[in-house]
Structure 1
Amino acid sequence: MKFLSVAALLVMPIVSTSLSAQVPNKAATKPVKLITLDPGHFHAALVQKSMYPDVDPLVHVYTPAGPDLQLHLDRILSYNSRRENPTTWQEKVYTGNDFMEKMLAGKAGNVVVMAGNNRLKTDYIHRSVAAGFNVLADKPMVINAGNFDKLKDAFAVAAKNKVMLYDIMTERFEISTLLQREFSMLPDVFGTLEKGTPDNPAVTKESVHHFYKYVSGSVLTRPAWFMDVAQQGEGIVDVTTHLVDLVQWECFPNQIIDYKKDIRLTDARRWTTDMTREQFNTITKLNGYPDYLKKDVGPDGVLKVYSNGEINYQVRGVNAKVSVIWAYQAPEGAGDTHYSIMRGTKANLIIRQGAEQQYKPTLYIEPIAGGAAYDTKLAASLKTLQQKYPGVELKKLEKGWEVIIPESYKEGHEAHFARVMENFLKYLKAGKLPEWEVPNMIAKYYTTTRALELAKQGQNTASGK
């Protein structure tokens, strides 16, 4: 059977094919051969926006036929045909209702990439690692508390089968976040992390996202199911995954978080984003709501999506708050934004991304009590940090300092997918993940799924249900 290129797939019928067998039996299997499973989210394509030296350019795709697949192939084609640094991916596609069974039986690759409809993702993850595949999954790995134990068991099965299960945490590679973490580990600058209170957390992370947005230079077409929380997951278990991950990663670097001992939830809440039929049609290119969304449509024809959420909780006694807000479209000149503060005994480290910052993430150091002695220690600490991040400087402001970051470090969100993949490939080559990664993934998904239950309980109590 001849392998079909992306370009060929766009003009020829998609057919079932028999696939050569290759059974991975350990994480370090070479070369890396990718499988893309049910690619319904644009993140599946962003993993392939770059090429990787040890990864076979032939990618097997198992999925139902339909618009999600076509959008995925269109994106891969755009990377292959761009003028600068074009990729050379070949996509060999199998469609049919038995696509999962065919993938498991075919053994056409050793790393399964998952980024799509989340309704069955936890099941897909469990079945894949049980069959001996490594898995690189987009967040969230689980969208409800009912499947948390299945995800936890999937990590145990992966360990037993000597394969890796890892999620795509792109925000760790955003340079202002990286430097916030680095400065927090400099005692002369930051001191130690405060404990805070539920009303005044030591750590706050807030993100604002938009349904209407540009990806790879084009307006993103959202699948209709993206607005169905039964398939995508509510905002409190979706985007907050990144924020909860960053709280753990920044506040307790390279340390194991035990969710049974270290996590305690205070409260959580959820609320909807309203979307008109016209707005829905614009981002989906459909004409009206599918039947599965009509349960969320009010008498006025407005769709209500539970895409917003807030979690107040403690990690090892440190009070943290994370929140995510989804608007339909950003104001002119704006985009997705991020706010973050870490409160230390000597200084606060704050990332702002508002109009004043031209909607670009900017890191500030604001000392609790400044003075000549603090300035001297800050200058010495900066020299230490510059050994790792050459070119980073400080600009004095009325309330402290702005961290000046060279443009060369500012890659953008889409480039971070390559960074995640590169890290994952290093782990595959080494045959293991850092010891803290798996317990911290489990802790992270316990936090998000338990928060959703807490938010629903609080809402029901408030309404007298």
Structure 2
Amino acid sequence: MKNVIGKCVLLGAMLINVAANAQLKENEKVKLITLDPGHFHAALVQKFTLPDIEPDVYVYAPKGPDVKMHLEKIDAYNFRKDKPTHWSEIVYTGPDFFEKMIAEKKGNVVVMAGNNRKKTEYIKKSIDAGFNVLGDKPMAIDNEHFEMLKSAFTDAAKKNLILYDIMTERYEITNTLQREFAMIPDVFGELKKGTPKEPGVEMTSVHYFYKFVSGSVLSRPDWFFDVKQQGEGLQDVGVHLVDLTQWECFPDKIIDYKKDIQFNNARRWPSYITLSQFKAITKLDGFPAFLKDNVVKDTILKVYANGSVNYKLFGVNVKLTAKWAYAAPDNSGDSQNSVLHGTKADLYVRQTAAEKYTPVLYIEPTNPSADYEQVLMARLKDVQKKYPGVDLKKSANGWEVVIPEKYKDGHEAHFGRVTEKYLGYLRDGDMPAWEVPNMIAKYFTTTRALALSKGTSKN
């Protein structure tokens, strides 16, 4: 028994201290490999020129429209008039693309953003072959893949490699400042534990199948509508909500998923896409054969793209919901609304018609008073030291946080910022101790929620 405990302690230390040493040698440049880029997020990693990255990028993929659309996006970045990039894509296509990547080993970082059915397996085998991995969410879409992902993290720790997922929402300024104000006890108080019916934390995201990316209508692959390949809503975009909950509410705290997370309930429900809508998104003439079991009355596709989970994290009740619809109202875009309930104030991020579908942060005190306002204005100065220009103005129930335009760089730019952060971890070996265990906790939350919603898990 002592040996078992000792091994567990050692493994835990390995996972926590995976980045104790730099992963790149001095003056060594990052050499990117893009694997099977079936999602536009793969291209967004390269939307802007990044320091210390070789311009030659090796792409390994099966033949087909996915890789073609990826290369078209890279070309658009290279040939645009404003701040063009200078990527040189060296492409191999064929059924043995993954084996070819492993054998040639042309780079040291593999970027994965595509079909999620085999992504976790690719992550595991890439780590085994000695590659660092920057993976788009989700890195696991069900319990089986979660166990495989845990093993990949264990192997990465042993090999001193960095496996990391692309959490862009941390770089949305309203989320960043929501976290900042939640860390000020004089303003926020303490996070309420709440109840399952009235949680301490509530977040909802709404995404759209039909959308614009880099200025043009996004074409999605047909497999995007197959939850066995893409994942369901909460297990896909819902990963961001779980990440924000952990990152904003319990900053720098290591989560042990086996003891710090308890589930109340979870559910899932479908979105319905017409044949004409499917054609507009995929540019295909009809539903593919692998979706036939989900087709209703020949012209309607049922996609389990929506989900919610109600759980406890460190005793705080949390409710997260991810939804998908066809197209955004008023040509707006994806939206996210959240609230952290504190004993002194609630911190809301609202992105509704009233905010013209742009995210706005509000501070709404539970007991507004002149004394509270005085304290708030004093603490605002601390925030302004980190974020010059941020200010407050009165709103109906408290204050709106006024954010200068210089901080509103947009969702697509956030991919570059995540990549820069990742490159820093590779270069300096300074990834925080909480990142790896909290990534594991994050995917435990999403995959266990799916099992609960299907009735295949007791907890």
**TM norm structure 2:** 0.94
Q: 1:437 aligns with which of 419, 432, 435?
A: 435
Contact persistence 1:275–1:303 (CA under 8 A): yes
Q: 1:179 aligns with which of 177, 180, 189?
A: 177
Partner Cα distance (2:243, 2:406) in 1: 25
Deviations 1:168-187 (CA, angstroms, capped at 9, x unpaired): 00000000000000000011
Q: Read off the aligned partner of 1:201 and give its amino acid letter.
A: P
Contact persistence 2:448–2:457 (CA under 8 A): no
Deviations 1:237-278 (CA, angstroms, capped at 9, x unpaired): 101100000000001001101100101111000000100111
Contact persistence 1:212–1:328 (CA under 8 A): yes
Listed as ranges, the matches of 1:224-303 within 5 Å are 224-303=222-301
Counterpart of 1:28 in structure 2 is 24
Partner SS state of residue 296, structure 2: coil
Counterpart of 1:14 in structure 2 is none
Deviations 1:289-317 (CA, angstroms, capped at 9, x unpaired): 11101111012420000000001000010
Shift of 1:432: 4.3
Assess, with a 3 A threshold, how the Cα gap between structure 1 residues 172 and 363 changes in structure 2: closer, same or farther: same
Listed as ranges, the matches of 1:112-151 within 5 Å are 112-151=110-149
Partner SS state of residue 235, structure 1: coil
Shift of 1:458: 8.0
Shift of 1:430: 1.3
Counterpart of 1:21 in structure 2 is none
Please say if 1:73 is aligned against 2:71: yes
Partner Cα distance (1:39, 1:256) in 2: 32
Partner SS state of residue 100, structure 1: helix
Shift of 1:28: 1.8
Q: 1:63 aligns with which of 61, 64, 70?
A: 61
Partner SS state of residue 330, structure 2: coil
Partner SS state of residue 445, structure 2: helix
Unpaired stretches in structure 2, ≥5 consecutive residues: 1-20
Contact persistence 1:45–1:72 (CA under 8 A): yes
Shift of 1:399: 1.1
Shift of 1:95: 0.8
Please say if 1:167 is aligned against 2:158: no
Q: Read off the aligned partner of 1:455 and give its amino acid letter.
A: S
Shift of 1:459: 12
Partner SS state of residue 211, structure 1: strand
Partner SS state of residue 431, structure 2: coil
Please say if 1:221 is aligned against 2:219: yes
Shift of 1:398: 3.0
Counterpart of 1:9 in structure 2 is none
Q: Read off the aligned partner of 2:133 and give its amino acid letter.
A: V
Partner SS state of residue 313, structure 1: strand
Q: Read off the aligned partner of 2:44 and give its amino acid letter.
A: L
Deviations 1:413-459 (CA, angstroms, capped at 9, x unpaired): 00000000000011001124211000000000000000000000189
Partner SS state of residue 360, structure 1: coil
Partner Cα distance (1:242, 1:273) in 2: 20
Q: Read off the aligned partner of 1:426 and give its amino acid letter.
A: G
Contact persistence 1:190–1:346 (CA under 8 A): yes
Q: 2:103 aligns with which of 97, 102, 105?
A: 105
Partner Cα distance (2:173, 2:347) in 1: 14
Counterpart of 2:385 in structure 1 is 387
Shift of 1:334: 2.3
Q: Read off the aligned partner of 1:119 and give its amino acid letter.
A: R
* 4+ long deviations beyond 4 Å: none
Partner Cα distance (2:388, 2:145) in 1: 45
Q: 2:88 aligns with which of 87, 90, 95?
A: 90
Counterpart of 1:312 in structure 2 is 310
Listed as ranges, the matches of 1:442-453 within 5 Å are 442-453=440-451
Partner Cα distance (1:232, 1:312) in 2: 23
Contact persistence 1:396–1:402 (CA under 8 A): yes
Partner Cα distance (2:457, 2:259) in 1: 27
Contact persistence 1:26–1:163 (CA under 8 A): no
Shift of 1:26: 6.8
Partner SS state of residue 348, structure 1: strand
Partner SS state of residue 136, structure 1: strand
Q: Read off the aligned partner of 2:413 and give its amino acid letter.
A: A
Contact persistence 1:34–1:60 (CA under 8 A): yes
Partner Cα distance (1:364, 1:298) in 2: 43
375-384 or 450-459: which moved more? 450-459
Partner Cα distance (2:429, 2:335) in 1: 36
Q: Relative contact order: is structure 1 or structure 2 higher (C-alpha 8 Å, sep ≥ 6)?
A: 2
Counterpart of 2:46 in structure 1 is 48
Unpaired stretches in structure 1, ≥5 consecutive residues: 1-24, 461-465
RMSD: 1.3
Count of residues paired in the alignment: 436
Partner Cα distance (2:79, 2:298) in 1: 44
Q: Read off the aligned partner of 2:251 and give its amino acid letter.
A: P
Q: Percent identity?
A: 61
Partner Cα distance (1:260, 1:458) in 2: 18
**TM norm structure 1:** 0.92
Q: Read off the aligned partner of 1:72 and give its amino acid letter.
A: H
Q: Read off the aligned partner of 2:112 and give its amino acid letter.
A: M
Contact persistence 2:209–2:281 (CA under 8 A): yes
Shift of 1:148: 1.2
Partner Cα distance (1:182, 1:423) in 2: 19
Q: Read off the aligned partner of 1:121 and give its amino acid letter.
A: K
Q: Read off the aligned partner of 1:309 and give its amino acid letter.
A: G
Shift of 1:374: 0.6
Contact persistence 2:38–2:113 (CA under 8 A): yes
Shift of 1:333: 3.5
Partner Cα distance (1:119, 1:304) in 2: 19
